[in-house]
């Protein structure tokens, strides 16, 4: 008896390389999106949210304005960025890789710093508040160094637009969670009978827990291939030599470019109009007569929608127009958005007017940020020191928010709110002059075929 022949084995259809590559890129973009949320979360905790807490505690406007200086780590992070590029974190680097090891380490520091700030009392110990806010800013700036390098190295040129739009939208959502989200939480805790100081403490504790989302994302991600190649290129060198190469190479390469100093000045000034008005937006809303919940509800709802739409609108603008033209659009929209708050200051308490002003601010700010991030990314091309160069650029961008905006409270006191926001619009003029000068000098052509 002969056995029946075996049924033919029909091979399962294999996904094409294009399908596999698409899945890979979608996962990369998702990782970048979640890391964007993680980067945006802590910024307001040492910024606008802290200022609301201080204002409710009775701290005067002049002192509140000076608290912009606690953002100093964001402007100096390029000083320790070479350490991120060159040094290994014991055990974590070996297990997770060069970028992911630093990510987990920075997020652990951030959680501890937020918890320390949660124990502060702005009314009784402003010095302790300042120290806690500085620690949060330093840990947050370190996380930004790593996330920026991870994003630039992870996504190929063709996916930078989707990656940047997702990153910026998620970044601003993270900021909304740590502003409106915290304000809602504080109100909810107060409604249970907690004292205001304890309600603020638990609001900050909740934000420390939220940082764990970034930690889980870092663990789920894969090390960027460019980072692994750069790591292999320096294997065997001493830690000191790697740090020196990262620092010297990053700065010397950038400064050797044509019109480098003008480009750096433009980086400082591009977001200044946003930063100058943004420093005082939360105290302004409280001073005009809106409640904490009014502000939180509008920022959480209308502001979130405007941020999402604005982020992807920025991605569309950047793909549709040249980099220079996109920067013009973003710069002008950012400046004009301040007039919405000048109008609100004139008409007083009106929830629809506040919703419109917040919508305009978030929409235009998101457009400007996406385009600006595209420009900064185009300036960083060498994986050996991506973190250092990008940290230098974003640190300079933070100068406007930290130092140039430190006197915003005194300007508001001297001029009144309507004129303050008109001045906030006019401070955009130097960046527009620099943009015109760089464009005529052919600066953007030297960046090559930038696909944003």
Predicted local distance difference test score (pLDDT) of residue 140: 95
Tell me the C-alpha distance between 220 and 98, whole Å.
15
pLDDT band at 257 (very low <50, low <70, confident <90, very high): confident
Highest-pLDDT range among 79-88, 117-126, 190-199: 190-199
The residue-averaged pLDDT of 103-121 equals 93
Three-state SS letters, 225-243: HHHHHHHHHCCCCCHHHHH
H or E segment at 121? Answer: none
324 belongs to a structural domain: yes
Give the rounded distance of the alpha carbon of 111 from its chain centre.
17
Label residue 236 by pLDDT band (50, 70, 90).
low
Q: Which residue has the higher pLDDT, 449 or 274?
A: 274
The answer to whether residue 321 sits within a structural domain is yes
How many other C-beta atoms are found inside a 10 Å radius of the C-beta of residue 257?
A: 13
Overall pTM surpassing 0.75 (yes/no) = no
76 versus 11: the higher-pLDDT residue is 76
The predicted structure's pLDDT at residue 449: 52
Q: Which residues 6+ apart lie within 8 Å of 294 measured at CB?
A: 285, 351, 354
What's the whole-number mean pLDDT along residues 204-215? 94
**Does the residue 346 lie in any domain?**
yes
The pLDDT-based confidence of 383 (bands split at 50, 70, 90) is: low
The reported pLDDT for the residue numbered 37 is 92
Quote the pLDDT of residue 3. Answer: 44
Say if 180 falls within a structural domain. yes
Residue 450 has what pLDDT?
47
More confident of the two residues 152 and 129: 129
Whether 157 shows a pLDDT value over 80: the answer reads no
Q: What is the mean pLDDT of residues 373-396?
A: 78
Higher-scoring residue by pLDDT: 88, 26: 88
* Model confidence at 63: pLDDT above 80: no
368 vs 164, more confident: 368
Contacts of 99 (CB under 8 A, 6+ apart): 146, 149, 150, 153, 223, 224, 227
> Does residue 215 surpass a pLDDT of 60?
yes
Q: Is residue 150 part of a domain?
A: yes
* Residue 180 reports pLDDT greater than 70: yes
**pLDDT (average), residues 155-164:** 64
Does pLDDT of 387 surpass 80?
no
Residue 263: CATH number of its domain: 1.20.1250.20
Q: Residue 75: its pLDDT value, please?
A: 81
Q: Are 145 and 81 in contact (CB under 8 A)?
A: yes
Q: What are phi and psi of 337, to 5 degrees?
A: -60, -25
pLDDT mean over 77-100:
84
pLDDT for residue 390 is more than 60:
yes
Domain count, the chain: 1
Question: C-alpha distances in angstroms, 129 versus 115, 140, 175, 194?
Answer: 12, 16, 20, 21
Q: What pLDDT score was predicted for residue 29?
A: 74
7 in a structural domain? no
**Better-scored residue on pLDDT, 302 or 137:** 137
Q: 330 versus 22: which is more confidently predicted? A: 330
pLDDT confidence of 228, banded at 50, 70, 90? low
For residue 235 the two structure tokens come to 């294997």
pLDDT score of 243 more than 60:
yes
The answer to the question of residue 1 being in a domain is no
Task: Tell me the mean pLDDT in the region 377-397.
Answer: 77
Looking at the domain assignment, is residue 189 inside a domain?
yes
pLDDT, tens digit, 9 for 90 and up, residues 348-372 = 888 888 889 989 998 998 899 888 9
Per the structure, the complete domain to which residue 388 belongs is given by 28-447
């Amino acid at each position: 008896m002969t056995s029946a022949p075996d049924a033919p084995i029909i091979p399962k259809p294999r996904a094409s390389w294009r399908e596999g590559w698409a899945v890979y890129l979608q996962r990369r973009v998702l990782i970048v999106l979640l890391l964007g949320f993680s980067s945006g979360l802590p910024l307001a905790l040492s910024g606008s949210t802290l200022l609301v807490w201080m204002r409710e505690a009775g701290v005067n406007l002049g002192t509140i304005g000076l608290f912009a200086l606690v953002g100093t780590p964001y402007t100096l992070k390029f000083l320790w960025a070479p350490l991120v590029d060159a040094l290994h974190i014991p055990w974590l680097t070996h297990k997770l890789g060069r970028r992911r090891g630093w990510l987990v380490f920075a997020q652990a520091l951030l959680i501890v710093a937020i918890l320390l700030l949660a124990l502060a009392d702005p009314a009784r110990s402003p010095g302790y508040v300042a120290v806690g806010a500085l620690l949060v800013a330093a840990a947050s700036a370190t996380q930004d160094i790593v996330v920026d390098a991870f994003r630039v190295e992870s996504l190929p040129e063709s996916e930078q637009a989707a990656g940047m739009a997702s990153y910026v939208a998620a970044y601003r959502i993270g900021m909304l969670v740590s502003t409106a989200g915290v304000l809602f939480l504080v109100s909810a805790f107060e409604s249970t009978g907690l004292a205001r100081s304890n309600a603020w403490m638990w609001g900050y504790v909740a934000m420390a827990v939220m940082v764990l989302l970034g930690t889980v994302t870092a663990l789920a991600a894969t090390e960027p291939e460019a980072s692994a190649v750069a790591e292999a290129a320096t294997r065997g060198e001493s830690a000191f030599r790697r740090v020196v190469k990262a620092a010297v190479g990053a700065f010397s390469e950038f400064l050797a470019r044509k019109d480098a100093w003008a480009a750096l000045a433009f980086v400082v000034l591009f977001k200044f109009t946003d930063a100058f008005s943004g420093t005082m937006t939360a105290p302004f809303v409280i001073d005009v007569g809106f409640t904490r919940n009014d502000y939180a509800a509008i920022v959480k709802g209308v502001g979130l929608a405007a941020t999402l739409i604005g982020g992807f609108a920025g991605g569309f603008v950047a793909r549709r127009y040249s980099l220079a033209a996109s920067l013009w659009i973003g710069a002008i929209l950012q400046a004009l958005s301040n007039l919405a708050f000048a109008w609100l200051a004139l008409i007083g308490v009106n929830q629809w007017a506040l919703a419109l002003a917040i919508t305009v601010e978030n929409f235009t700010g998101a457009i400007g940020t996406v385009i600006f991030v595209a420009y900064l990314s185009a300036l960083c091309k060498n994986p050996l020191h991506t973190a250092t160069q990008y940290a230098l650029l974003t640190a300079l961008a933070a100068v406007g928010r930290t130092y140039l905006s430190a006197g915003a409270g005194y300007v508001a006191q001297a001029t009144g709110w309507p004129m303050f926001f008109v001045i906030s619009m006019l401070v955009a003029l130097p960046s527009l002059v620099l943009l015109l000068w760089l464009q005529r000098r052919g600066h953007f052509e030297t960046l090559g075929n930038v696909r944003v």
